[in-house]
Amino acid sequence: MAKLIFITHPEVIVDPAIAVEDWGLSDAGRERMIRFAASDAVADIRTIWTSAERKAREAAVILNAERRTGVRTNPMLGENDRSATGFLPPAEFERTADAFFASPAKSIRGWERAVDAQARIYAAVSRIVAGHDDGDLAIVSHGAAGTLLLCKLRGIPIDRAHDQPFQGHFWAAALPDMEILHHWMPIAPKV
């Protein structure tokens, strides 16, 4: 049975002077992704898609190094648009993310609404799945994007209770119907 494996990028280098979408993986994130890329969990991947954000692209390139299938980019797989605020200090970011998930039909501080991000991500993944023909399919993206899609596929309301515990997790769904096989699991232990 072929699977969709939705992977979130691991730890990044946080730099308030750089746009969030241009942040790259940290050494710890890179190491975790290398271990995951060599694991049995992703042994049957035949196709890799990623968001256009640097951290996701870097994680996808590491995943591809084990299989050399190529990486396709789709900007619609990006994280919820938070450009209205840009970088927020961690505590402020967490409060804003809580509000984003708690009020999915409202724009929180100018952020893309959760319902709109969910519709965008679901449409992009549905198109990718419709064109997929063999083996496992990996999508390397972001935490909120994965949580919104997971909620949609499970048919449950958007809720941060279903979010990954920290960066660098994955869930899987059967193809082509996208029935969830398992929820968030860490790509590798934190270092």
Cα three-residue angle 182-130-115, rounded to 5 degrees: 65
| Domain limits for position 142 | 3-186
Q: Where residue 92 sits, what CATH number does that domain have?
A: 3.40.50.1240
Interhelix angle for 27-37 vs 54-65, to 10°?
A: 40
Query: How high is the pLDDT of residue 190?
Result: 86
Chain segment 72-94, per-residue pLDDT in tens: 999 999 999 999 999 999 999 99
Domains: count for the chain: 1
A 10 A CB-CB count for 131 gives 9
Contacts of residue 111, defined as CB under 8 A and 6 or more positions apart, other chains included, come to 80, 81, 82, 84, 85, 96, 100
H or E element, residue 3: strand 3-8
Chain segment 6-45, per-residue pLDDT in tens: 999 999 999 999 999 999 999 999 999 999 999 999 999 9
Q: Is 191 within a domain?
A: no
pLDDT score of 191 more than 80: no
Which token pair is 172? 């899987």
pTM of the model: 0.97
